[in-house]
Amino acid sequence: MSWGERVVEKTVRDDFTCYEWVDLHSGAYFQSVVEYLRKLLDGEGVLMDDAQREKCRAAFSRTLLLEKAFFDDCYSDEQNI
């Protein structure tokens, strides 16, 4: 949640796509969305048994690995077209 806050002031507003992405991920509204989603997920978490929680953890961990791989690929010097 905090990465947008760290870079929003440094982002060039003339670069519309980049600035919009950073702006979307910063500010009070975005913080309220994150808090709302966390509350929903926490509410579901208490309803799960241990096996369901482990399955959820595994899916979340896989999602993070895929997201990191996506951004690593985007910022690599190699062109994979």
pLDDT value at 81 more than 70: no
Instruction: Residue 26: count other Cβ atoms within 10 Å of its Cβ.
Output: 20
* Residue 3 pLDDT grade (very low, low, confident, very high; cuts 50, 70, 90): confident
Q: 72 and 78 in contact (C-beta within 8 Å)?
A: no
Q: 33 and 26 in contact (C-beta within 8 Å)?
A: no
CA distance 31 to 52: 28
| Residue partners of 80: CB distance under 8 A and separation at least 6 | 73
- Residue written as tokens 């997201």? 67
Reported as a single tens digit per residue, the pLDDT across 17-66 is 888 888 888 889 999 999 999 999 999 999 999 999 999 999 999 999 99
Q: What residues does each domain of the chain span?
A: 1-45, 48-76
